[in-house]
Amino acid sequence: MPASQLLMRHWPLLLGLAVLAVPTLIAVATGSWTGEAGVHGPIVLATGIWLFARRWQELLSIQRPGQIGIVLAILVPSLLLYVFGRAFDFLVFQALAFLGVCIAVFYASFGAEAVRRMWFPILYLGFVVPLPLWVITTLTAPMKEYVSYMATWILSHAGYPIVREGVTIYVAQYQLLVEDACAGLNSLISLTAISLFYIYILHNASWRYALFLMLWIVPVALLANLVRVMILVLITYHFGNAAAQGFLHSTAGLVMFATALLGIFVVDGVMSPVRRMLTRTPA
């Protein structure tokens, strides 16, 4: 069935989804997507929809209505959570609930086999849901300690007058606080999302190698953010605090994210022998 016919047949359902989707997307776009932690959101949303669109004919060929009991078990709690999140301005609950509504509608329309085959696009779209602040704060604590310690250790051995106290770095007369953005979590979330997309598209047939490549995401992200912090320290030392906190600070973040993503591509290329070994079919 063409997509246009399906849209015309189920327009009341699509209208209801739009009523839920529009305020959610506006809230996410004006909140999470404006910060570094949510920079991947629009990319994930667009590519996630594309993952469904590219397999549209396959989904139509296996389309079977889902069981009403399972549909209600997913839909009702999701709607209640959406109302709660919307009423009390909890964006995380609102976005997560809308994703649950979409999963319920998808299962009701296409059935369990379609959900099984599309498990990755569904999981991938979960990256659109912003993490709550307390999760970010908790997870960034050890990362900030590690990044600040390593940056201080390397630069001190390079001869720079630098010391560390917790996550605060002192270089010459300047004081720098390693914040969440510099700790690596924000770019780690974005890098994980984009890397998973890359791994799925190129290596979907080899789950062993895909899992192996995923193990490199955290080390690559932390290394890239360590370099980022060191660059900011050097900019501060040589050009002053205003330069580091201004345009160069934002540029360093973009460059380091691109570097981390490139690092995943490099690892993928270098690990070609491992890929051949893990994808080899047993005799």
DSSP string covering 31-69: TGGGSGGGTTHHHHHHHHHHHHHTTHHHHHHT--PPPHH
Task: Say which of 228, 275, 276, 280 is annotated catalytic.
Answer: 228
Q: Are 152 and 162 in contact (CB under 8 A)?
A: yes
Extract the tokens encoding 97.
Answer: 């609930």
Closest CA to 1 of 62, 52, 71: 62
* Interatomic CA distance for residues 211 and 254, integer angstroms: 26
Known catalytic membership, residue 164: no
Helix count and strand count (H, E) for the chain: 16, 3
The catalytic position among 54, 102, 116, 182 is 182
Residue type, 239: F
Q: 143: closest CA among 37, 216, 225, 38?
A: 225
Collapsing DSSP to helix, strand or coil, 174 comes out as strand
Is 275 annotated as catalytic?
no
Q: Which residues are catalytic?
A: 182, 228
